[in-house]
């Protein structure tokens, strides 16, 4: 695979003498450009492990390497300026404007003023916040979600290779969290930072991680693998119980609609000959047909009853297609749409809304079985 | 795609606006009372000699000197001390200091001045040291409280981004606690100016002399005018500290 950027080697951390170590003899490698999620029950030492990397907590023993260089000794402040750091409580400086907050590390690194100013705007745009509007505001004027966007912008301001994130979306309401997670994944596709991400939420871990380290007490690695592999083959009972019931359902978030074999239902389009349509419908195994408009966009589910009702035009009868899926949506989305749909199927279209096929429960089940 | 947060209006809360109005109003009211007494009471020669302008002027300067010097001394000692004991590894010293100085404040100021007199003899230095001891606690306590109430996550973020310990103190902790610290200093200044009326007891001068003469010679207008002047001075210093509090407090809080 790719090269190792962060390496913890036999690292231990013990508080006080004789106490149980918070981190026991941990060896961990983070690959360049990956998102490694540390997940585990509270008190397992995942946050401690994260804070060992930028030496906010000094290890009792062991070595820490960053990009091949031993950084266990030496000036911790200088090390931290090279590593982005995002925490759950965000920790924006309340007495500094948004712009000044973002400029923190560039200023510490002695960038010149013009470069910093340009960088501030660039960062604000990166996290989808209008520079004009927000530059001169103070943190107390921001919502929780906005504050964490600035938290991320501030961490990325000096363009560090490594980003440490300690439950960054943990204190944010579920809807905003989902949006921030998606934005962050999109950002990461562009930036390709090396990220160590701590969470206690296994769903978040599955969504965000290229690899997941499931930790038990003492920061011992119970399993370290891709989300797919962990869901398919949990290493032991601890991992299994931590994944919780519904590992199959969780696995659906990792697969896309395009992975599934689409089912083709009969289609109708204007102008519809009723007799002919009835024949088509009767000849097929499906109880319904899809009515497509002039652009091949599916608009209504038409069944036999709707075809027989001559009182209104076909394109106005039957049930409307309210939600459609696209190939890049997850199978979990597909399942939701199917369950809500009156016909037990979900329509899949391409980006322009053109009909591609349908997702059915059978095809979903077949995919899960083949994985099993 | 970002939604625009409602811009918070920078309205000063009522309590803070009152803060800057109350002291001047009281000072003006007292000045009027003093003026009325001066104009309308029967001032005999003795009273007039007690209230001689050159005497009052000297005593005013002495009172201001006492108040300022002891307050500066307190700031110079208590703020660094408060910073020191809130660093890692000093929790015991902190508790010890707060307890001991609480004791000093529990003593009557009068007693404290006399104790210092018995060691140091008469003079202005004795008074300054006694006042400083007496008013050390509010400044120390507010410095400690101010530093400890700084949001730990803000400090954590600062460290995580590479601030040194010194930068954390200067750029995060002190700016975020300056309001609370000045509140303590304000208390100390008012105490010091007020208590400086006792300085005459050990030859420290000040407006206490006028009050004392008035008492001894049974001249009520002299007592009143002396007391009013001390009170006006204390209110004036309070007002200036309130201004400092308002303008030194960082924006955005």
End-to-end CA distance of chain B: 28
3-state class (DSSP) for residue B95:
helix
DSSP assignment letter at A141: G
Residue of B nearest to A129 (CA): B2
Contacts of B9 in chain A (CB under 8 A): none
Whether B3 has a pLDDT exceeding 60, the answer reads: no
CATH of the domain at B219: 1.10.3720.10
Query: Is B63 within a domain?
Result: yes
Q: Mutation test of the interface with chain A: which of B3, B149, B151, B160, choosing the one with the most A Cβ atoms within 10 A?
A: B160
Query: Is B31 within a domain?
Result: yes
**Of B5, B151, B160, Cβ closest to residue A146:** B5
Is some CB atom of chain A closer than 8 A to the CB atom of B158? yes
Residue of A nearest to B167 (CA): A108
For chain A, the average pLDDT equals 90
Instruction: State the average pLDDT over residues B145-171.
Output: 96
Beta-strand ranges (E) seen in chain A are: 4-13, 23-31, 35-39, 61-66, 69-70, 83-87, 162-166, 194-199, 211-216, 220-225, 267-269, 288-292, 298-303, 319-320, 324-325, 345-349, 355-360
Question: Do residues B205 and B62 make contact, with C-beta atoms less than 8 angstroms apart?
Answer: yes
Between A89 and B5, residue with greater pLDDT:
A89
Query: Is B9 within a domain?
Result: no
Q: What is the ipTM of this complex?
A: 0.83
Contacts of B54 (CB under 8 A, 6+ apart): none
Give tens-digit pLDDT for B11-67. 667 777 787 888 899 999 999 999 998 888 888 888 888 888 999 999 999 999 999
pLDDT at A250: 78
pLDDT band at A56 (very low <50, low <70, confident <90, very high): very high
Give tens-digit pLDDT for A222-274. 999 999 899 888 999 999 999 887 777 777 888 888 888 888 888 888 777 78
Query: Is B6 within a domain?
Result: no
Query: Is B3 within a domain?
Result: no
pLDDT at B13: 72
Is some CB atom of chain B closer than 8 A to the CB atom of A170? no
Whether A314 has a pLDDT exceeding 90, the answer reads: no
How many separate domains does chain B show?
A: 1
pLDDT at A371: 63
Between A122 and A372, residue with greater pLDDT:
A122
Give tens-digit pLDDT for A319-341. 888 888 888 888 888 888 888 88
Range of the domain at B154: 14-248
Query: Is B253 within a domain?
Result: no
pLDDT at B81: 94
Query: Is B54 within a domain?
Result: yes
Between A100 and B17, residue with greater pLDDT:
A100
Which residue, A256, A244, A229, is CA-closest to A330?
A256
Compute the radius of gyration of chain A from its Cα atoms: 26
Instruction: State the average pLDDT over residues A329-354.
Output: 87
Is some CB atom of chain A closer than 8 A to the CB atom of B164? yes
Query: Is B149 within a domain?
Result: yes
* Interface contact flag, A142 B5, Cβ < 8 Å: yes
Return the percentage of chain A with pLDDT > 70, whole number.
Answer: 99
Whether A363 has a pLDDT exceeding 90, the answer reads: no
Whether A197 has a pLDDT exceeding 70, the answer reads: yes
pLDDT at B88: 83
């Amino acid at each position: 695979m790719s090269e190792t950027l962060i390496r913890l080697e036999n690292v231990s951390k013990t508080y006080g003498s004789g106490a149980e170590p918070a981190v026991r003899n941990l060896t961990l490698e983070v690959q360049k450009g990956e998102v490694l999620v540390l997940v585990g029950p509270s008190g397992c030492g995942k946050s401690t492990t994260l804070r060992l990397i930028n030496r906010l907590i000094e290890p009792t023993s062991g070595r820490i390497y960053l990009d091949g260089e031993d950084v266990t000794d030496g000036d911790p402040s200088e090390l931290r300026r090279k590593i982005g750091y995002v925490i759950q409580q965000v920790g924006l400086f309340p007495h500094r404007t948004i712009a000044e907050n973002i400029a923190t590390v560039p200023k510490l690194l002695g960038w010149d003023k013009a470069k910093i100013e340009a960088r501030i705007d660039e960062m604000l745009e990166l996290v989808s916040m209008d520079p004009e509007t927000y530059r001169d505001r103070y943190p107390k004027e921001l919502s929780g979600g906005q504050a964490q966007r600035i938290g991320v912008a501030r961490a990325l301001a000096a363009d560090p290779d490594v980003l440490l994130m300690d439950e960054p979306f943990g204190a944010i309401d579920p809807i905003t969290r989902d949006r921030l997670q998606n934005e962050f994944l999109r950002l990461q596709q562009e930036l390709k930072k090396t990220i160590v991400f701590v969470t206690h939420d296994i769903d978040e871990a599955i969504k965000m991680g290229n690899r997941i380290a499931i930790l038990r007490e003492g920061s011992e690695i119970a399993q370290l693998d891709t989300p797919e592999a962990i869901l398919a083959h949990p290493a032991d009972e601890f991992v299994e119980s931590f994944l919780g019931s519904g590992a199959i359902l969780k696995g659906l978030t990792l697969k896309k609609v395009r992975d599934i074999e689409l089912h083709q239902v009969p289609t109708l389009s204007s102008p519809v000959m009723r007799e002919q349509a009835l024949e088509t419908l009767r000849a097929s195994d499906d109880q319904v047909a899809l009515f497509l408009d002039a652009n091949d966009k599916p608009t209504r589910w038409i069944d036999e009853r709707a075809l027989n009702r001559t009182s209104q035009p076909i394109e106005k009868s039957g049930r409307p297609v309210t939600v459609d899926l696209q190939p890049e949506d997850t199978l979990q989305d597909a399942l939701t749409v199917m369950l809500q749909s009156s016909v037990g199927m979900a329509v899949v279209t391409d980006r322009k809304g053109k009909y591609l096929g349908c997702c059915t429960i059978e095809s979903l089940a077949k995919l899960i079985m083949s994985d099993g | 795609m970002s939604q625009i947060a409602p811009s918070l209006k920078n309205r000063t809360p009522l309590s803070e606006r009152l803060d800057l109005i109350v002291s001047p109003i009281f000072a003006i009211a007292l000045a009027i009372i003093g003026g009325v007494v001066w104009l309308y009471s029967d001032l005999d020669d003795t009273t007039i000699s007690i209230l001689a302008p050159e005497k009052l002027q000297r005593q005013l300067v002495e009172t201001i000197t006492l108040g300022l010097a002891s307050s500066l001394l307190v700031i110079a000692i208590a703020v660094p001390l408060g910073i020191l004991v809130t660093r890692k590894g000093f929790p015991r010293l902190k508790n010890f200091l707060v307890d001991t100085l609480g004791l000093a404040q529990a003593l009557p100021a009068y007693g404290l001045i006399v104790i210092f007199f018995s060691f140091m003899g008469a003079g202005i230095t004795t008074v300054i040291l006694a006042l400083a001891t007496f008013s050390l606690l509010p400044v120390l306590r507010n410095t400690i409280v101010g530093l400890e109430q700084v949001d730990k996550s803000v400090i954590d973020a600062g460290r995580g981004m590479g601030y040194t310990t010194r930068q954390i103190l200067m750029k995060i902790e002190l700016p975020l606690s300056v309001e609370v610290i000045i509140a303590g200093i304000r208390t100390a200044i008012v105490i010091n100016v007020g208590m400086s009326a006792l300085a005459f007891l050990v030859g420290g001068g000040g407006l206490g002399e006028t009050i004392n003469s008035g008492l001894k010679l049974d001249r009520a207008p002299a007592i009143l005018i002396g007391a009013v002047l001390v009170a006006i001075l204390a209110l004036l210093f309070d007002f200036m500290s309130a201004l400092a509090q308002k303008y030194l407090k960082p924006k955005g809080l």
